[in-house]
Amino acid sequence: MSDNTADTKRRGLGSLLIIGGHEDKSGDCSILRKFVDMAGGRDSHIVIIATATEQPHTVGGEYQALFAELGAPLAHVMAIANRETANQSQQAAIVKNASGIFFTGGDQLRLTSILGGSAVDAAIRAAFMKGAVIAGTSAGAAVMSETMIVGGHSNDTPNKGSLTMAHGMGFLNEAVVDQHFAQRGRINRLLAAIAQNPHVMGVGIDEDTALIVGPDRLCKVVGSQTVTIIDGKNIAYSNISELNQTQPLVISNVLLHILPAGYGFDLNLRLPIQIDTNN
């Protein structure tokens, strides 16, 4: 993709807030507070999409109450459980004018299989094109990228069978996201993902941590832990194409960045950056 095409695709887009899961909900709630601020604060119109969870009203209601406490009284819970509902025009209308869209955790395949290509999916993208912030935690984070991880073995030696991948919602291109990263020891499966797709960057996000991605593809880490970026563009050798499912992976010349709050990443230049924590 040329730089001009990339700039055209980014123009007018909103921002992403990609959360590694288990964000603080009882203390300062800094990540959720950041989402509310990005969505417009008291003037925000937030839509909580609880499709990924099997308890949508309970989980969605918890976030609805939290957002109200954080200064966003207008938050609508959408418990879309099937494609018939996802294609209803009244559901799409609610989403289209949202200033903030929040995907809860659960099963990322429920999100993509129920919403993908639906009227609600189109409305989410329309809101994003108008500048809405899209946030997702856990499974809601995994769906952000074009190619998403849907399962795999966290603690095994990296191999071809370490993970299962599928098409995500594609809000973040040239990257693949993994969540609960350090807490569940998921570096091996992210390395396997990068070995299979060296042109994309692996983004591993710890719990109570988030990566903010702006329309310019400049990123900022917020939260208490770290974001791990794995860049496989300059891989010198990998045996991934020669392996059976259980043989160990060989991969060399991988670039690794570990970034806490106060740092960010330029996805265009593939370089870490230090940022002003007051902004």
44 catalytically annotated: no
In a domain, 106, yes or no: yes
In a domain, 159, yes or no: yes
30 catalytically annotated: no
Q: Which of 45, 145, 180, 238 is catalytic?
A: 180
In a domain, 279, yes or no: no
How does residue 275 score in pLDDT terms, banded at 50, 70 and 90?
A: confident
Q: For residue 279, is pLDDT > 60? A: no
Q: Which of 118, 138, 145, 238 is catalytic?
A: 138
In a domain, 2, yes or no: no
What pLDDT digit, counting tens, does each position of 27-76 carry?
999 999 999 999 999 999 999 999 999 999 999 999 999 999 999 999 99
180 catalytically annotated: yes
Q: For residue 1, is pLDDT > 60? A: no
What pLDDT digit, counting tens, does each position of 159-189 carry?
666 688 899 999 999 999 999 999 999 998 8
Q: For residue 5, is pLDDT > 60? A: no
The residue range of the domain holding 190 is 10-274
Q: For residue 193, is pLDDT > 80? A: yes
In a domain, 206, yes or no: yes
Say how many domains are in the chain. 1
3-state secondary structure the chain: CCHHHHHHHHCCCCCEEEECCCCCCCCCCHHHHHHHHHHCHHHCCEEEECCCCCCHHHHHHHHHHHHHHCCCCCEEEECCCCHHHHCCHHHHHHHHCCCEEEECCCCHHHHHHHHCCCHHHHHHHHHHHCCCEEEEECHHHHCCECEEEEEECCCCCCEHHHEEEEECCCCECCEEEEECCCCCCCHHHHHHHHHHCCCCEEEEECCCEEEEECCCCEEEEEECCEEEEEECCCCCEECHHHCCCCCECCEECCEEEEEECCEEEECCCCEEEECCCCC
In a domain, 166, yes or no: yes
Q: For residue 224, is pLDDT > 90? A: yes
Q: Which of 99, 174, 207, 238 is catalytic?
A: 207
In a domain, 16, yes or no: yes
CATH code of the domain covering residue 178 = 3.40.50.880
In a domain, 4, yes or no: no
| pLDDT on residue 216 | 94
